[in-house]
Amino acid sequence: MEQLAVVWRQMVLDRDAGADVRDLPGIAVRWADCRFPFWNCVTLTDVGAGAQLVGERLRQAAGIMRDKERPGFLWVFEGLLDESGRAALGPAAERAGLRYAFPGTGMAGDLLPLPEPTHPELTFVRATTDELLRAYADINARAYGFDLEDGRDGLLGSRLWKERVRAYLGLRDGTPVTCAATVEAQGRLFVLLVATEPGAERRGYGEAVTRKALHEGGRATGLARATLHATAAGAPVYPRIGFVPNSPMGFFTLRN
**pLDDT 10s digits, 91-134:** 999 999 999 999 999 999 999 999 999 999 999 999 999 999 99
The CA-atom distances, in angstroms, between 247 and each of 65, 103, 105 are: 24, 11, 6
- The mean predicted confidence, pLDDT, of the chain is 97
The predicted structure's pLDDT at residue 138? 98
Residues 60-73 have a mean pLDDT of 98
Q: For residue 101, how far is the Cα from the chain centroid?
A: 14
The predicted structure's pLDDT at residue 222? 97
- The C-alpha atoms of residue 135 and residue 157 are separated, in whole angstroms, by 13
Least Cα distance to 73 among 12, 155, 6 occurs for 12
**pLDDT 10s digits, 192-210:** 999 999 999 989 999 999 9
**pLDDT 10s digits, 9-29:** 999 999 999 999 999 999 999
Decide if pLDDT at 135 tops 90. yes
Residues 168-190 have a mean pLDDT of 97
Least Cα distance to 231 among 220, 216, 245, 215 occurs for 245
Share of the chain above pLDDT 90, in %: 98
Residues 19-48 have a mean pLDDT of 98
Residue 119 near residue 205, CB atoms below 8 Å: yes
Q: What is the dihedral of CA 64, 66, 70, 76, to 10 degrees?
A: 50
The predicted structure's pLDDT at residue 87? 97
Q: For residue 132, how far is the Cα from the chain centroid?
A: 19
The predicted structure's pLDDT at residue 108? 97
Residue 186 near residue 3, CB atoms below 8 Å: yes
Residues 70-93 have a mean pLDDT of 97
The predicted structure's pLDDT at residue 20? 98
The predicted structure's pLDDT at residue 220? 96
What are the backbone dihedrals phi and psi of residue 131, each rounded to the nearest 5 degrees, phi first?
Answer: -60, -45
The predicted structure's pLDDT at residue 256? 80
Decide if pLDDT at 242 tops 90. yes
In this prediction the pTM is 0.94
The predicted structure's pLDDT at residue 181? 98
- The C-alpha atoms of residue 117 and residue 207 are separated, in whole angstroms, by 9
The predicted structure's pLDDT at residue 234? 86
The predicted structure's pLDDT at residue 117? 95
Residues 236-242 have a mean pLDDT of 95
Decide if pLDDT at 233 tops 90. no
